[in-house]
Amino acid sequence: MAAIRAAVLVLLGLCLGGAAAAIPLVIWHGMGDSCCNPQSMGYIKKIVENKIPGIYVLSLKIGNNLIQDMENSFFMNVNDQVREVCSQLAKDPHLKGGYNAMGFSQGGQFLRAVAQRCPSPPMLNLISVGGQHQGSVYGFPRCPGESSHICDWIRKTLDLGAYTQAVQEHLVQAEYWHDPLKEEDYRKNSIFLADINQERGINETYKKNLMALKKFVMVKFLNDTMVDPPISEWFGFYKSGQAKETIPLKETSLYLEDRLGLQEMDKAGKLVFLGVKGDHLHFSEEWFYSTILPFLQ
């Protein structure tokens, strides 16, 4: 009788519990965007919720309103942004069992910093959509609002002194500015990217935390005119000392020395490299459903 009673209780639990709850999703927008723009992050949030009933989607807002959120994507120290996000995630009861993360453009490498620095609550899968993981450089070819004074000012500032302390502390794009002709300046003075890419030494905690991911998905836009070089979206970059020839991730010192654990993750099948035709962040709803959605379920 005891065995029968136990079996009945298990069946009742399955019936009452229903299907497993959807894994929550955290989204971080890119430069010049905001958490809830109905044509970008608001749209992504909506289509995910439509396809995965009951899912909790948190689109990150940095600041007290949408204007501050947008401005902070240009002018708030990235390390401070990451700390703020880590605090938001730790306080959110929906995320305590773990979550998937999806970052767009610079939001991709920012969420990687969250994975490396803040393992609780645990990030399960990281999807980087056009994230510049080895940085971006040269000309700042395009930014939201091509004719805006903000974009013109940022270009001039980066060209004049991307690695000065004042610029590093107050201009987001300088913090992942990676000049292959000034590698020493980059390694010494980059306050964000050089740190999370282990350019000044090995932080074993960063490595351990990143390797805890189930999957690290990197989306590269095959006709990208914004990220220079586009191969940065797959962790490749220019060969040091020049700005014409690029090398893939597997030929970089980051991979060969396995400073982040990417080599080990690659061998374990945890790295996923996806290419999509189109310019930066240009993709179809059909592509998103068929290619990205499976990693969220």
Sign of CA dihedral 289, 213, 123, 65: negative
Cβ contact 76:172 at 8 Å: yes
Point out the catalytic residue in the list 105, 136, 190, 232: 105
What distances in angstroms separate CA 201 from CA 78, 128, 135, 197, one per listed residue?
Answer: 20, 24, 18, 9
Nearest-5° Cα angle at 122, 118 to 123: 90
Length of the chain counted residue by residue: 297
Question: Roughly how many angstroms between the first and final C-alpha of the chain, as a whole number?
Answer: 39
Cβ contact 22:297 at 8 Å: yes
Q: Smallest Cα–Cα separation from 108: which of 257, 276, 294, 235?
A: 235
Point out the catalytic residue in the list 29, 133, 178, 280: 280
**Residue 170 falls in the annotated catalytic set:** no
**Residue 224 falls in the annotated catalytic set:** yes
Report how far residue 85's alpha carbon sits from residue 144's, in angstroms, rounded to the nearest whole number: 23
What is the residue-wise DSSP string for 12-68?
Answer: HHHHHH-SPPPPPEEEE--TT--TT-TTTHHHHHHHHHHHSTT--EEE---SSSHHH
Point out the catalytic residue in the list 33, 69, 224, 228: 224
**Residue 92 falls in the annotated catalytic set:** no
**Would you state the torsion angle of the CA atoms of residues 228, 189, 193, 116, taken in this order, to the nearest 10 degrees?**
170
Report how far residue 297's alpha carbon sits from residue 292's, in angstroms, rounded to the nearest whole number: 10
Nearest-5° Cα angle at 136, 135 to 141: 165
User: Active-site residues: which are they?
Assistant: 105, 224, 280
